[in-house]
């Protein structure tokens, strides 16, 4: 093929959308197959801003992300969107969101949208997501928005790995909101109350202010609360302004370094976890042993702990 | 100590609550320290029914679980509750829920309640959760309810590992509900519409029926939709009846075996993943190398992939 005269990494750096898509597919297949590609990609890092957006289901994150992307586009920036959808492996739930998006953003060649989902046993969703972000960065997207559904552990980690983390709430989410708020309080650099024309918006804002006044941050950033109605494009400018302001503050302080160290540490561990597991499971001996051992555990002839001991004995790499 | 004449596993089998609590703490500390304990525990398996309950934040899962537990207690059964709270590591979000629960269930010595959260780098929340369930089973709790907040990957896996999976929805959760429903459609054996006196309950039920009619199950079970108002104790008997009926159906069919194989396979992999990672990171050489490499990755002097290669070279076990 003519294309093979240029490496995939070079074509990514050239901002060819098809190369970006192919590179992301490769990193989704597994860390092993992507190692050489990613080593090259990381050398092409261009310093795009990574914006993590999370919040409970029903908070209107997708609309918010779309409107924010449109605003960045009007400024002339290229925008990458990575939608993390952990529920997809079961029935392809990501597709719905993609289809809706195509109507507003999909025809703009300076917007790249990709949904990520776990595949198979080895997991690696968070590793694949940060790799996808690195690919978009290498391709010159200056704003990279990572959107996560839900409040699971993986999603929290993914949002923590962003340069700036935005937590989206809506008025009147019910009793569990307290617990969620407690859990995400420490990861939010900016809080958005979306659907802020709804009943209970004022109460939610007061409650959030009270919670924020109790939270301890290691930097002197005071997380702002931005009120939006994403579907009406209200408050999106305020959100963009808050993001810019946080980015400027981070550049001035040492706290950014601590945060980058923590993120790097987590990324190394995630990658290590995935590679160790695949080094065992990708051998033929182990693959067949796994099925036999799973049968024995399922029928209570064996416990999972001794099954793992036997699996490790069967592994050629150990 | 006098206690040490009996092993911890024996005391668990004796249904001593303090031993159960201590055993769960040990498995939370890590798979390595718990290996011998868990090998004994798995031999004491008594076949308690594991009920997984999941759903979006705000769906009223906790109230539903509490009322279901009270119903089982009235039947004379002993009930274990494991509340999985992935957001806890950040600020102890689990505590709130526990405190509320103590008011209704906490004084009953035949109810054991425990919140689980990830600790540290090695993860293992899902492994620790299934181990906690095995401990409660060995201690003779005949109904073990596992409640998960959110729709993240870990939570989905935990609920899939239950004997029966209950998905809780509420009327009018907004746009994202379609995506969530698509994701959890295949894991739900029973669907609950809680807060069913709210506006939109009928529409939610119709929508759910339509989605369920499209879903393909490998067994011939037709997942029922149960309407509840947990706070008023309405519909809890219907839910318990649906659970009993599913259990009887599963016992009659071969599908249960396939499902148990898939669960066992997943448990082995989770445990393997955790043990492999700790075998590398628990060595002193690797621990110091990790911090240095994290600094290099944070300052972009190195990419995460070559950092992992170097970490593996420093590992004494490889």
- Write the ipTM: 0.81
CA end-to-end span of chain B: 40
Distances (CA, A) of B67 to A289, B83, B229, B235: 43, 15, 10, 10
| CB-CB under 8 Å, B57 with A56 | yes
Are residues A248 and A2 in contact, defined by beta-carbon separation less than 8 angstroms? Answer: no
Residues A163/A50, Cβ–Cβ less than 8 Å:
yes
Q: Is B123 within 8 Å of chain A by CB?
A: yes
* Separation of alpha carbons B50 and B163, rounded Å: 5
CA of B238 vs chain A CAs: smallest distance (Å): 24
Alpha-carbon span B206 to B221, nearest angstrom: 19
Backbone angles phi, psi at A40, to 5 degrees: -70, -45
Give A-chain residues touching B295 at CB under 8 angstroms.
Answer: 261, 264
CATH topology of domain A2-271: Rossmann fold (3.40.50)
Higher pLDDT, A316 or A163: A163
The answer to whether the beta carbons of residues B199 and B171 sit under 8 Å apart is yes
> What is the pLDDT at residue A1?
47
Judged by phi (left if over 0) then psi (alpha if -120 to 50, else beta), residue B111 lies in beta
Does residue B256 belong to the interface with chain A, where contact is any CB pair within 8 Å? no
Between chain A and chain B, the number of residue pairs with CB atoms below 8 A apart is: 291
A80: left (phi over 0), alpha (psi -120 to 50) or beta: beta
Query: What pLDDT score does A180 carry?
Result: 52
Q: Is B86 on the interface with A (CB under 8 A)?
A: yes
Between A6 and A248, residue with greater pLDDT: A248
Q: Which ranges of A53-184 would DSSP assign to H, the alpha helix?
A: 61-74, 88-91, 94-104, 125-138, 153-160, 177-184
A110-143 pLDDT, tens per residue? Answer: 999 888 875 555 567 788 899 999 999 999 999 9
CB contact under 8 A, A85 and B59: no
User: Chain A contact for B263, CB < 8 A?
Assistant: yes
Tokens of B12: 């668990």
pLDDT one-digit tens code per residue, A52-107: 998 766 778 888 999 999 999 999 999 999 988 655 433 333 444 454 555 566 66
- Nearest Cβ partner for B93 among A86, A183, A260: A183
- Give the per-residue pLDDT at A93: 37
Candidates A240, A307, A296, A286; CA nearest to A74 is A240
Chain B stretch 175-214, residues whose beta carbon is closer than 8 A to a beta carbon of chain A: 175-180, 182-187
Q: How far apart are CA A250 and CA A258, in angstroms?
A: 11
CA–CA dist A277, A122 (Å, integer) = 7
Sign of CA dihedral A110, A132, B174, A103: positive
B317 CB within 8 Å of a chain A CB: yes
Provide the shortest C-alpha distance from residue B308 to chain A (in Å).
Answer: 6
Q: What is the pTM of this model?
A: 0.78
Q: Which residues of B196-223 are buried (b: 16+ CB within 10 A; e: fewer)?
A: beeeebeebbebbeeebeeeeeeeeeeb
Q: Look-up: residue for tokens 């950092």?
A: B307
The answer to whether the CB of B146 falls within 8 A of the CB of B53 is yes
Tens-level pLDDT at each residue, chain B (318 residues): 444 568 999 999 999 999 999 999 999 888 777 899 999 999 998 989 999 998 766 778 888 999 999 999 999 999 999 988 655 433 333 444 454 555 566 668 899 988 887 555 556 778 889 999 999 999 999 999 999 865 556 667 777 789 999 988 888 755 445 545 555 666 789 999 999 998 888 888 888 888 788 777 777 789 999 999 999 999 999 999 999 999 998 877 766 778 888 889 988 998 998 889 888 888 888 888 999 999 999 988 999 999 999 998 887 655
Query: Could A261 and B298 be called an inter-chain contact, meaning their C-beta atoms sit closer than 8 Å?
Result: yes
Q: Where are the domains positioned within chain B?
A: 44-255
CB B87 within 8 Å of CB A156: yes
The verdict on a CB contact (< 8 Å) between B304 and A186 is: no
- Our measurement of the distance from residue A132's CA atom to the centroid of its chain's CA atoms, rounded to an integer in Å, reads 9
**Residue numbers of A between 7 and 66 with CB closer than 8 Å to B:** 31, 35, 38-39, 41-43, 45, 56-63
Average pLDDT over residues A30-49: 89
Please check whether residue A154 touches B, CB under 8 A. Answer: yes
* B175/A58 touch (CB, cutoff 8 Å), yes or no: yes
The Cβ of residue A185 has, within 10 Å, a number of other Cβ atoms equal to 22
Instruction: Give CA separation, A157 vs B48, B161, B200, B303, B307, in Å.
Output: 34, 23, 34, 19, 19
- Asked if CATH classification 3.40.190.10 holds for the domain at B44-255, the reply, yes or no, is no
Closest CA to B193 of B211, B178, B208: B208
Distance CA B256, CA A279 (A): 31
pLDDT of residue B246: 94
> What CA–CA distance (Å, rounded) separates A165 from A192?
11
Rounded to the nearest angstrom, the minimum Cα separation between A124 and chain B is: 11
Using CA coordinates, name the residue in chain A closest to B318.
Answer: A318
pLDDT digits (tens, 9 = 90+) for A135-180: 999 999 999 999 986 555 666 777 778 999 998 888 876 544 554 5
Measure the CA–CA gap between A65 and A203, rounded to whole angstroms: 25
B307 has a chain A CB within 8 A of its CB = yes
Per-residue pLDDT, averaged over A174-188, amounts to 57
Q: How far apart are CA B237 and CA B289, in angstroms?
A: 57
Q: Given an 8 Å threshold on Cβ–Cβ distance, is B177 in contact with A58?
A: yes
Judged by CB atoms closer than 8 Å, whether chains meet at A304 and B267 is answered as: yes
Residue, of A315 and A141, whose pLDDT is higher: A141
- Asked if B223 and B259 touch (Cβ cutoff 8 Å), the reply is no
Does residue A235 come out as left (phi exceeding 0), alpha (psi in the -120 to 50 range) or beta?
Answer: left
pLDDT for the residue A95 = 41
Q: Would you state the pLDDT for residue B94?
A: 41
């Amino acid at each position: 093929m003519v294309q093979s005269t240029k490496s995939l990494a070079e074509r990514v750096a050239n901002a060819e959308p098809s190369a970006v898509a192919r590179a992301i597919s490769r990193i989704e297949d597994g860390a092993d197959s992507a190692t050489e590609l990613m080593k090259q990609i990381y050398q092409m890092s261009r310093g795009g801003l990574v914006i993590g957006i999370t919040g409970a289901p029903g908070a209107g994150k997708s609309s918010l992300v779309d409107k924010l992307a449109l605003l960045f586009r009007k400024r002339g920036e290229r925008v990458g969107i990575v939608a993390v959808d952990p529920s997809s492996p079961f029935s392809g739930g990501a597709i719905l969101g993609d289809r809706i998006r195509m109507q507003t953003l999909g025809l703009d060649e300076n917007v790249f949208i990709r949904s990520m989902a776990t595949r198979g046993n080895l997991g690696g969703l968070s590793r694949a997501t940060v790799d996808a972000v690195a690919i978009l960065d290498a391709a010159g997207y200056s704003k990279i928005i990572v959107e996560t559904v839900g409040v699971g552990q993986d999603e929290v980690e993914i949002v923590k790995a962003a340069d700036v983390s935005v937590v989206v709430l809506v008025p009147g989410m019910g009793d569990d909101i307290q617990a969620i708020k407690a859990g995400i309080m420490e990861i939010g650099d900016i809080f958005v109350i979306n659907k802020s024309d709804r009943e209970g918006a004022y109460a939610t804002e007061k409650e959030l202010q009270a919670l924020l006044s109790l939270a301890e941050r290691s930097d002197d950033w005071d997380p702002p609360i931005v009120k939006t109605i994403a579907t009406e494009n209200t408050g999106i400018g305020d959100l963009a302004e808050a993001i810019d302001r946080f980015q400027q503050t981070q550049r001035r302080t040492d706290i950014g370094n601590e945060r980058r160290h923590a993120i790097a540490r987590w990324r190394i561990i995630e990658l290590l976890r995935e590679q160790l597991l695949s080094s065992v499971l990708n051998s033929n001996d182990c693959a067949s042993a796994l099925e036999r051992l799973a049968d024995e555990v399922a029928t209570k002839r064996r416990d999972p702990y001794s099954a793992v001991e036997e699996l490790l004995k069967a592994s050629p790499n150990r």
